[in-house]
Structure 1
Amino acid sequence: MRLSTVILPIHRWGEGQKIWRRAEELGFHAAYTYDHLSWRSFQDEPWFGAIPTLAAAAVATERIRLGTLVTSPNFRHPVTLAKELMSVDDVSGGRLTVGIGAGGVGFDATAMGQEAWTPKERAERFGEFLPLLDKLLTQDATTHEGRFYSAVEARNIPGCVQRPRVPFYVAATGPRGLRLAAEHGQGWVTYGDPKGPAAMPAEQAPAVIEAQLEKLTAACEAQGRDMATLEKVLLQGSTAEKPLQSVGAFVDWAGTYREFGITELVIHWPVPDSIFENDLAVFEEIATEGLSQLG
């Protein structure tokens, strides 16, 4: 099992670069950031772009993997996104992971003036978006005419440092998304029950993940995919669980999900006076000692 962190893009780079470097020093497997234009309680606070932040983090660090968690079609087009991802993969020396999902409502979902998409339309768009992004990142030139997205001799030369392309970690819980994860993903991402993870009693949260893993297993079997070849990633912070209160709480929490087959846990870097407020000293202790105490 690996341990990673999410660093929100809320810091001016003079301060932000220190956090990304510290994440590497603490030994995190990866440091991700949200790809939004704004987000929830931070919507009237500083918030920077994910791709420029990752490019800067790539220069500021040497070993830690970097990525989005997650990007979506809400305000992205596969052609321009592919070019940006290829570029960050190059700057980082092949350390980029692309967390990607269908997107949601609110925040930046209508920032470009579009009508809010229904769940069905989001799923349909994602079903076209992800395979096209796959092609764009694995071919020198791509032409595609789709219902939602098109590409005309879109070129991505020299391609990704990682071959055949940067890994995709697909965030999904529904049948269409799980099928895409099984077909195109190198990893799968969940944060709990998408209908309201915080409202569910903490003791019921593991059963949700267990049920999602069963559906993922079925999706892999339908695609002829070995489930073991897919990373299973759990993003902490949306449920009522409190694993960052102490090292002991983290060990208990991590042990539960390791038994289910989760291979990577992602915890939020503490943000004072927010829903991600946690003791930084305890957080750093968890980073350095948490997994070793699992036994």
Structure 2
Amino acid sequence: MWPTESWPAAGERWRRAEEMGFETAWVYDHVAWRGSTPWFDAYATLAAAAVVTERIRLGTLVTSANFRHPVPTAHAARTVDDISGGRLTLGIGAGGIARTSDAGILGGPEWSPRERAERFAEWTDLLDRLLRGPETTFEGVHYSAREVVTAPGCVQRPRPPFAIAATGPRGMRLAARQGALWVTTGRWQEPAAMYETVRTEIAGLEEACAAEGRDPAELRRMLLTEPAGPGLESPAAFEDLAGRYAELGITDIAVHWPRPGTGDGPDLTALAEIARRRTG
């Protein structure tokens, strides 16, 4: 779902997604994305969406440390989990490296790939502790928290599930350790190359699960498709795409809601038929 429309027009989109039978409606968490404005806050959007829906799960795809500290992030997440009656899935990732993906917008030195991975691991550890509560004090290399009271905790126990976007070895081990869902884009490339990328990534994920003592079957795996990528031009094309990736072990596929005037996302009629076929 694109956080680019003012309410209540945006609310109609969220209601429609629920009516169409989708399991989860996700929203990108950025200040702006690829120069698009307006771009509204993800957690405020999810709180509003929680009020106009009843069944569909709601999630960020993804929140990162690029501009969010774990303490206010946990506070916002607990609030959305409460308003939604326990329907929040917290999608998290290390964050993009480009300014258009919010990298560096808070100022300070640029993060090296190693530092970004270290920050994400520490950020996730602190976020996990904050959501579990009831009080957290934490002193890390990059993040800290002092006597943060989060009692009585979240509606979902011990906390909302994490959907972790990660493709590197350290991130995959983090997903194996703390994730309920692993997320990949396959690097949004030519279809054959993307398929092989996902194949390789899943092999790495299963190695990470083995290293962490996690049964790989317990971890769901989601492919986030490109806004105007192949496989979305018709319900038949989507069924072919979903079938091929299911063979690799992908359990969930996220598609973009149509964004008028941009070419982002499938035709709404095709999307409705895709949803009908997938939900029965």
Give the structure-2-normalised TM-score: 0.96
Is residue 241 of structure 2 the alignment partner of residue 253 of structure 1?
yes
- Report if aligned partners of 1:171, 1:190 keep a CA contact under 8 Å in 2: yes
**Aligned partner of residue 40 in structure 2, secondary structure:** coil
Is residue 74 of structure 2 the alignment partner of residue 82 of structure 1?
yes
Aligned pairs for 1:86-97 (under 5 A) are: 86-97=78-89
CA distance in 2, matches of 1:130, 1:146: 12
- Report if aligned partners of 1:250, 1:290 keep a CA contact under 8 Å in 2: no
- Report if aligned partners of 1:272, 1:278 keep a CA contact under 8 Å in 2: no
1:141 maps to what in 2? Answer: 135
**Aligned partner of residue 268 in structure 1, secondary structure:** coil
Instruction: Tell me the C-alpha RMSD between the 2 structures.
Output: 1.4
Cα distance change, pair 241–8 in 1 and its aligned pair in 2 (3 A): closer
CA distance in 2, matches of 1:287, 1:173: 28
Match of 1:62 among 18, 35, 54: 54
Residue 21 (structure 1) shift? 0.2
- Report if aligned partners of 1:251, 1:291 keep a CA contact under 8 Å in 2: no
CA distance in 2, matches of 1:277, 1:289: 18
**Aligned partner of residue 164 in structure 2, secondary structure:** strand
Cα distance change, pair 41–282 in 1 and its aligned pair in 2 (3 A): farther
1:3 maps to what in 2? Answer: none
Is residue 210 of structure 2 the alignment partner of residue 229 of structure 1?
no
CA distance in 2, matches of 1:127, 1:17: 34
CA distance in 1, matches of 2:84, 2:153: 14
Is residue 197 of structure 2 the alignment partner of residue 203 of structure 1?
no
Aligned pairs for 1:206-221 (under 5 A) are: 206-221=195-210
CA distance in 1, matches of 2:75, 2:11: 24
Residue 110 (structure 1) shift? 2.2
Match of 2:45 among 53, 71, 75: 53
Residue 233 (structure 1) shift? 0.8
Is residue 123 of structure 2 the alignment partner of residue 129 of structure 1?
yes
Is residue 35 of structure 2 the alignment partner of residue 8 of structure 1?
no
Residue 274 (structure 1) shift? 2.0
CA distance in 1, matches of 2:265, 2:200: 29
- Report if aligned partners of 1:70, 1:171 keep a CA contact under 8 Å in 2: yes
CA distance in 1, matches of 2:142, 2:59: 25
CA distance in 2, matches of 1:231, 1:279: 27
Cα distance change, pair 41–80 in 1 and its aligned pair in 2 (3 A): closer
1:186 maps to what in 2? Answer: 180
Structure 2, gaps ≥5 residues long: none
CA distance in 1, matches of 2:31, 2:45: 13
Cα distance per residue 1:187-221 (max 9 Å; x no partner):
1000013xxx33xx222221111110000000000
Tell me how many residue pairs correspond in the alignment: 278
Is residue 267 of structure 2 the alignment partner of residue 279 of structure 1?
yes
CA distance in 2, matches of 1:51, 1:91: 11
- Report if aligned partners of 1:34, 1:69 keep a CA contact under 8 Å in 2: yes
